[in-house]
């Protein structure tokens, strides 16, 4: 078996941007414009950035003070035991391959600019066939070596920033501050038409924006997940912070520019993806072709990462004795082929089922974002727990406050962004408990679940039933 190569700052920094600059950035204006005025969108951005900053600061603190272990999941173990580590890693795995559905459908929507036969939903049978070919092509590519895939991902990250810079240059010259401030708190596209500032209206708009923003922030944990492959923990920490800052600034600017060109209901009426539709408005069809081509590259990079990331997570769980050893078997390139195959197969089956869904992109990113919230919250929970356990440590109060703010943010995001999606995640956790039990038994554990863990398992099962019922009732 080949020794794993160590990665420097740039590949890890690029992997974060690749995760954040995916399909979401090209459509974030549309997603926000349907539910929020510019004022409410700014408030939503501020809330999400502060929440994600507490996550990053908590993660940096833990990486510096307790650097042992693999990625995120060791801290979930320290916070809530082996079941917590399993739920964190399994949640990351779910988030990744479910998110691939959003990437697949948006890529097909972009390709439909060149090949209209694909339709405008991304879920026609021709679209599903092509997306399936891409999906399995990634399987064979990644199976040849994760490090090579990350280097390709870094190159794609540079290429896909170019059309966003073009969008900025073309649109910013037409930006009108008067248009931006008109109806600053009122959103007609979302039929929220209160006169002037209305606190309840703004709160509703902010609440409805959260899930879209959680989706575009996904990817900032990449450096931590791959920290075992980094040259140092410090590199992983710096890449995470700088990736968050760079990605947030870029996405905020792209999302807010259209509000200064026309009203939200007007640019929403242009359709999806918003960046391509607006460049078509200014440059003609060539603008749409250029952005659509760039979107294909952009989405490919994110899709590549969200195939690698989930595979890495269940490899770690297997190494820690929380899943059967089969999940952690490596080929001669150091890639867990079985886990990669299972991840690809499940994503492909879910993609096929999306043919019968009205809005596959929205479903994919909403369910994916819900799952990642479960993974992220364990970091801030352990930040709080560790701060309490070390009362004499310098900076303990600051770290406690950061952790508490992070916990409040993540639980708030889970509640307001669609609790039904969180409940649906319970269905896949119930399936996962079977493999968790087998993995723990194979590792020689006599009592797999203690009394508290049994209560947690029962609660997840109840949530799963509730999720199925709500989904079946169209809720």
Domain 9-419: give its CATH architecture.
Up-down Bundle (1.20)
CA distance 215 to 260: 24
CA distance 216 to 239: 17
φ/ψ (deg, to 5) at 326? -55, -35
φ/ψ (deg, to 5) at 342? -65, -45
Asked if 16 contacts 237 with a C-beta cutoff of 8 angstroms, the reply is: no
**In this predicted structure, what is the pLDDT of residue 2?**
42
Angle, alpha carbons 408-410-411 (nearest 5°):
65
pLDDT tens figures, 329-340: 888 777 788 888
Asked if 29 contacts 274 with a C-beta cutoff of 8 angstroms, the reply is: yes
Asked if 363 contacts 14 with a C-beta cutoff of 8 angstroms, the reply is: no
**In this predicted structure, what is the pLDDT of residue 421?**
82
**In this predicted structure, what is the pLDDT of residue 370?**
85
**In this predicted structure, what is the pLDDT of residue 404?**
95
Q: Can you give the residue ranges of every domain in the chain?
A: 9-419
**In this predicted structure, what is the pLDDT of residue 5?**
59
Cross-strand partners of 187: 192
φ/ψ (deg, to 5) at 192? -110, 95
Asked if 369 contacts 218 with a C-beta cutoff of 8 angstroms, the reply is: yes
Residues of the chain below pLDDT 70: 1-7, 15-16, 18-19, 22-23, 68-71, 145-159, 188-200, 221-230, 233, 359, 417-418, 474-475
């Amino acid at each position: 078996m080949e020794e794993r190569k160590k990665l420097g700052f740039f590949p890890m920094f690029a992997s974060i941007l690749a995760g954040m600059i995916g399909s979401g950035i090209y459509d974030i204006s549309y997603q926000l414009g349907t539910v929020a005025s510019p004022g409410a969108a700014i408030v939503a951005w501020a809330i999400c950035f502060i929440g994600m900053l507490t996550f990053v600061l908590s993660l940096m603190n833990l990486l510096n003070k307790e650097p042992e272990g693999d990625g995120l999941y060791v801290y979930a173990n320290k916070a809530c035991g082996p079941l917590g580590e399993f739920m964190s890693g399994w949640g990351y795995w779910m988030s990744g391959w479910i998110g691939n559905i959003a990437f697949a459908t948006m890529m097909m929507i972009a390709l439909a600019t060149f090949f209209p036969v694909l339709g405008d939903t991304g879920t026609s049978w021709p679209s599903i066939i092509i997306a399936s070919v891409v999906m399995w092509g990634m399987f064979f590519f990644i199976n040849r070596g994760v490090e090579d895939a990350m280097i390709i991902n870094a190159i794609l990250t540079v290429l896909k920033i170019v059309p966003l810079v073009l969008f900025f240059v073309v649109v910013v010259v037409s930006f009108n501050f008067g248009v931006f401030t008109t109806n600053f708190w009122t959103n007609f596209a979302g039929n929220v038409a209160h006169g002037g500032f209305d606190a309840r209206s703004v709160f509703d708009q902010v609440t409805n924006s959260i899930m879209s923003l959680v989706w575009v922030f996904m990817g900032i944990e990449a450096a931590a997940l791959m920290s075992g492959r980094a040259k140092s923990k410090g590199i992983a920490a710096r890449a995470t912070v700088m990736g968050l800052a760079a990605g947030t600034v870029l996405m905020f600017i792209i999302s807010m520019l259209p509000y200064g060109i026309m009203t939200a209901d007007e640019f929403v009426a242009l359709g999806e993806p918003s960046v391509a539709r607006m460049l078509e408005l200014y440059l003609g069809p060539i603008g749409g072709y250029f952005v659509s081509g760039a979107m294909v590259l952009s989405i490919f990079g994110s899709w590549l990462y969200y195939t690698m990331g989930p595979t890495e997570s269940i490899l770690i769980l297997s190494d820690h004795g929380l899943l059967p050893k089969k999940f952690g078997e490596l080929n001669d390139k150091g890639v867990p082929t079985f886990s990669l195959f299972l991840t690809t197969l499940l994503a492909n089956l879910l993609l096929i089922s999306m043919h019968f869904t009205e809005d596959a992109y929205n479903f994919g990113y909403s369910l994916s974002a819900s799952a990642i919230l479960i993974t992220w919250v364990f970091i801030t929970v352990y930040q709080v727990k560790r701060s309490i356990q070390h009362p004499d440590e310098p900076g303990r109060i600051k770290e406690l406050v950061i952790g508490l703010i992070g916990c409040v943010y993540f639980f708030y995001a889970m509640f307001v962004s669609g609790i039904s999606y969180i409940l649906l995640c319970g269905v896949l956790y119930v399936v996962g408990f079977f493999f968790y039990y087998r993995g723990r038994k194979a590792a020689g554990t006599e009592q797999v679940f203690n009394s508290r863990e049994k209560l947690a398992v029962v609660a997840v099962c109840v949530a799963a039933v509730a999720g199925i019922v709500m989904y079946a009732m169209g809720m």
